[in-house]
Amino acid sequence: MSLKIPKSQGIDLFKPGGKQLSGIEDAVVRNIQAVNELSEIVRTSFGPNGKNKLIINHLDRLFVTNDAATIVQELEVVHPAAKLVVMASRQQEQEVGDGSNLVLILAGELLKKAENLLVMGLHPSEIVQGYELARNKALDSLAELENDKLELPVSKDSLVKSIKTSLGSKQFGNEDFLSDLVADAAITVMPKDPSQFNIDNVRVVKIMGGNLYESRVLRGMVFGRQPEGVARNAQKAKVAVFTCGIDISQTETKGTVLLKNADEMLNFTRGEEQQIEKILKEIADSGVKVVVAGSQVGDLALHYLNRLDIVVIKVLSKFELRRLCRVVGATPLARLGAPTPEEAGHIDVLETTEIGGDRVTVFRQDNDQLTRTATIVLRGATANHLDDIERAIDDGTNIIKTLLMKDPRFISGAGASEIELAKIIENFGDKTPGLNQHAIKKFAQALEIIPITLSDNAGLNSTEVLSKLWAAHSTEEGKNMGIDVDAISDEGLIDTKSLGIKDSLAAKWWAIKYAVESAIAVLRVDSIIMSKAAGLAPPQQQGHWDDD
């Protein structure tokens, strides 16, 4: 008979105040619940009928949006497991620029299905293996679901059709007008080689007032301010761009000056005035008619610039300054002085116009070869509404970039492609031996969350809609049938191919990849170890003198 070795008690492995949670109950299930809570928050904002969220961030700034990327960015999620899924969603936003909501919803649903399997007694490793097999099958099968392609050369009409679905999910009802606006701007800046398309060249300027349908595309750059001096317009003009302020340079040291008579006082600043006049005269002599300042413009400098009839405009954002340099073909100068012919830029038309009571300055190149920027001037009643439309436009331009640079293929939208994928993966699960098949089948069920969410948000009966979808997709002819959120048909289903409701294949590919990776990362965690927070404890508050 062996001796029983007593277990030692009270081993302090971590500093006092640390916390350790381990095991299925304490760690895995708690993580799954946290991700589910986050997923539920953004789920109601999915699709064309998605509801807006009103968020007030830590700086008291108000956001009214249904854009998942903005929602999770402003929510400041602190739970470590939920943070993993938020990171995946952000990565999707950077990679494709659209579909971040899909990542959050799918990851949340995959973990919810995994929780059922854990309760049944499966080990997390078996679920992870099954999910990986299902993911690989899903990503390989996406190419089979292709139903359209963006053809080259790119036309405005083809771009309008390509981004309509994406914009409809953000601004339902305005997608026709907005897709026309975005496609117009994209065609204006489209280079000869479409794979070189740069989304940075499509800018948005928001001007309050009017309504959305007064928005328009202007060729060139628009600044929401008027020039500083008297001169307001210029044509076929030479441009100098300065990153420094246009002012008398101040010395670092301060000195005291003793003035003995009136003449000394009169002539005290004469040297400085002559110096700045000489510099500005040199700039004017080099043929420059437009000066762009990246910092402040002094009163004295402005006086001389007005006398020389030079248009001067302040651009305080360094990003805007960089874009402007690209439009006019100038080199930004850090010193104040006449630019060389190589450093100076050229602008065909600089004009100051009025849009809805606001004076704006437009830099426009009439030569098609030089037009490298288009500006969408947005009109609207509230700042929040304009911000939300700007986010939708950003998604639209990102989809164009993805189609031109990554993959020009499309798959059916409105939940049709998800049901087709679920059908493929369900069949794959039936043929897979061992315990992995349970996880593969749960993966197929998790994909149903997309059509369920679309029908829930549209106020439809999701159980009924889902059964109709499965029935339609059981035949080859019905593989493009999706959910009718517009109530066009009595059946509740529509043919997505004939109506042109399509999603970018690349956006869906990356969304599934990131969603599964983040879900697997959460399932692989079996212990949460938290150190005691750094810093001193808050001082004890003295009670009010009248409390006793």
Q: What is the 3-state secondary structure (H, E, C) of 179-230?
A: HHHHHHHHHHHCCCCHHHCCHHHEEEEEEEECCHHHCEEEECEEECCCCCCC
CATH 3.50.7.10 residue ranges for the chain: 216-380
Residue 8 confidence (pLDDT): 55
At 19-42, the pLDDT tens digits run: 676 666 667 788 888 888 888 888
CATH number for the 216-380 domain, one of 3.40.50.150, 3.20.20.150, 3.50.7.10, 2.60.40.10? 3.50.7.10
Tokens of 13: 């492995």
Could you give the angle at the alpha carbon of 144 between the alpha carbons of 143 and 147, nearest 5°?
A: 90
The residue written with tokens 């109601």 in the block is 44
Cross-strand partners of 519: none
Cα gap 221→202, rounded to integer Å: 9
Count other Cβ atoms within 10 Å, centred on residue 431.
Answer: 8
Mean pLDDT by 10 residues, the chain (548 residues): 62 69 72 85 84 84 83 82 87 84 89 86 85 88 81 81 82 83 85 79 84 83 80 81 75 71 72 77 82 80 81 82 81 81 82 79 71 81 85 86 83 84 86 84 88 85 84 81 74 78 86 90 78 68 66
CATH 1.10.560.10 residue ranges for the chain: 19-148+412-530
**Residue 104: which residues within 8 A CB-CB, separation 6 or more?**
38, 39, 42, 43, 68, 72, 85, 86, 89, 515
Residue 161 confidence (pLDDT): 82
Residue 233 confidence (pLDDT): 80
- Residue 167 CB-density burial (10 A; 0-12 exposed, 13-18 middle, 19+ buried): buried
Cα gap 446→36, rounded to integer Å: 13
What is the model's pTM? 0.81
Cα gap 231→306, rounded to integer Å: 7
Cα gap 328→291, rounded to integer Å: 12
Residue 9 confidence (pLDDT): 59
Whole-number Cα distances in Å, 411 to 415, 422, 469, 481: 10, 14, 16, 12
Q: How far apart are the first and last CA of the chain?
A: 67
According to DSSP, residue 297 is labeled: B
Residue 52 confidence (pLDDT): 85
- Please give the CATH number for the structural domain made up of 19-148+412-530: 1.10.560.10
- Residue 6 identity: P
